[in-house]
C-alpha cells in the first residue's frame, strides 16, 4: 500500500469496495461480499495491514493485505455480534483488537503470530 491513498466503503446491502485515489478520481481495487455490513475498517499490527469487515448477519471477516497481489485476502473469521468498530491496541508484549458489539459484549482478541515456515 506504500504511499497510495485508499478508501474502504462498506455497504449494508450489496458489496463493499476498496478504492484507490488515482490523482483525479478513485478507482476500484477490490469488491468484497458484505451483506449486513455496518463497519469496514483497516488496521495495522506490527508490519501487517488488516481489514475487518463486520456483519450483522454472519461472522466478521478479517482480511490481510497481500503486497504481491495488491489486494486483501481472506485471513480469519471472528464471531462478533453486530460489530460497529475495531480498534487495535499495542501493549507491552502483545497487541489486541477490541471489537465492540451492538448486540453483545465487547470482545478482545489477542494478536498471535504463528510461524508455519518449518
Task: Please give the average per-residue pLDDT across 55-84, as a whole number.
Answer: 94
Residues 6+ apart with CB under 8 A from 65: 1, 48, 49, 50, 51, 71, 72, 73
Binned at pLDDT 50, 70 and 90, residue 54 comes out as: very high
Mean pLDDT of the chain: 91
Task: Report the candidate in 64, 106, 116, 67 with the shortest Cα–Cα distance to residue 83.
Answer: 106
Amino acid at each position: 500500500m506504500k504511499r497510495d491513498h485508499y478508501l474502504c466503503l462498506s455497504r449494508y446491502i450489496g458489496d463493499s469496495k476498496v478504492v484507490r485515489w488515482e490523482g483525479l478520481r478513485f478507482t476500484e481495487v477490490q469488491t468484497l461480499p458484505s451483506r449486513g455490513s455496518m463497519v469496514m475498517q483497516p488496521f495495522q499490527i506490527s508490519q501487517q495491514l488488516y481489514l475487518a469487515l463486520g456483519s450483522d448477519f454472519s461472522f466478521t471477516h478479517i482480511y490481510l493485505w497481500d503486497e504481491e497481489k495488491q489486494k486483501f485476502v481472506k485471513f480469519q473469521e471472528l464471531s462478533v455480534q453486530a460489530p460497529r468498530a475495531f480498534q487495535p491496541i499495542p501493549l507491552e508484549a502483545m497487541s489486541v483488537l477490541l471489537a465492540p458489539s451492538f448486540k453483545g459484549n465487547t470482545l478482545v482478541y489477542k494478536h498471535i503470530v504463528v510461524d508455519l515456515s518449518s
